[in-house]
Amino acid sequence: MNVYDFDQTIYQNDSSVDFYKYCLSCYPEIARLWPKQIKAFVRYQSGEHNNIRKTEMKSVFFSYVARIDDIPEMVRTFWNIHENGIKQWYVGQQKEDDLIISASPEFLLKDICGRLGIKHLIASDVNPDTGQFLRPNCHDYEKVRLIKKVADLSQIDAFYSDSYSDSPLAVFAKKAYIVKGNEISPWDEQKAVAYFKKHPVPNFKEDK
C-alpha cells in the first residue's frame, strides 16, 4: 500500500485555498468574514502551535461555507476546473490500493478521489453546512491515529508528502519521499529528527 498526502503532493496547490478563492469569486460577500478569520489566525499564530488550536482556527476559516447555497455543486464545478492540477507523476504510478490522507476537508476531496478512482481517503471531518470540524484536524500525529483505525501501518510500502510535519507517519513506511513540485527525493532523516524534537508525541484520547 502506498500512502500520499494530497495538497502540494499529488495536487499542485493547496486545495482548501483554491476552493476558497473559487467560492469567493462566486460569492464575494464571504469576504465580510475576513475580520473574524484574520482574528482567529492571529490568535493561533500568537499562541501555542498545537493541533487543537489549529483545528479551532480552521473551523473559523471554513465557516464561510455556511453562506454557500450548494456546497456539493460548488465542489463539483470546482474540480471541473482544477482537476488538471493533479500531478502527472502520480497518475503514472497510481495503484488500486493507494490511500490519500489529508488535512483538507473530506467533503472537498471525495469528488476528485472518485474521479481518479481512489478508493481510500482519510481527511478532516468538516461539516459542509457550517465549516465546523467534527474531529481534530487531520495533521501530523492525528494522521497516524486515524490511519491506524483502517490500516496496518506496517503495510505502508511508500509514503509521499510535501511537508516534514508528516514525519510521524513517514517513519512507519518502508520508504518515504518528500515532494517539492514535481521533484521527489528521499525523506531527510535529520529534518525528521528536528521535527520530533519540537513536536513530542501527544497523549491521544481514543474515540469511544
**Residue 199: pLDDT band by 50, 70, 90 thresholds?**
confident
**Region 187-208 average pLDDT:** 79
Q: Is the pLDDT of residue 24 over 50?
A: yes
SS (H, E, C) the chain: CEEECCECCCECCCHHHHHHHHHHHHCHHHHHHHHHHHHHHHHHHHCCCCHHHHHHHHHHHHHHHHHCCCHHHHHHHHHHHHHHHECHHHHHHCCCCCEEEEEEEHHHHHHHHHHHCCCEEEEECECCCCCCECCCCCCCHHHHHHHCCCCCHHHCCEEEECCHHHHHHHCCCCEEEEEECCEEEECCHHHHHHHHHHCCCCCCCCCC
pLDDT digits (tens, 9 = 90+) for 87-104: 999 999 999 999 999 999
Domain assignment present for residue 208? The answer is no
The confidence score (pLDDT) of residue 47 equals 77
The confidence score (pLDDT) of residue 82 equals 98
The confidence score (pLDDT) of residue 205 equals 52
pLDDT digits (tens, 9 = 90+) for 43-89: 999 877 788 899 999 999 999 999 999 999 999 999 999 999 999 99
Domain assignment present for residue 190? The answer is yes
Q: Is the pLDDT of residue 203 over 50?
A: yes
Q: Is the pLDDT of residue 176 over 70?
A: yes
Provide the domain limits for residue 179.
2-198
Domain assignment present for residue 207? The answer is no
Domain assignment present for residue 206? The answer is no
Domain assignment present for residue 116? The answer is yes
> How many domains does the chain contain in total?
1
The CATH number for 59's domain is 3.40.50.1000
Q: Is the pLDDT of residue 206 over 70?
A: no
Domain assignment present for residue 107? The answer is yes
Domain assignment present for residue 56? The answer is yes
Domain assignment present for residue 205? The answer is no
pLDDT digits (tens, 9 = 90+) for 115-167: 999 999 999 999 999 999 999 999 999 999 999 999 999 999 999 999 999 99
Q: Is the pLDDT of residue 208 over 50?
A: no
The confidence score (pLDDT) of residue 65 equals 98
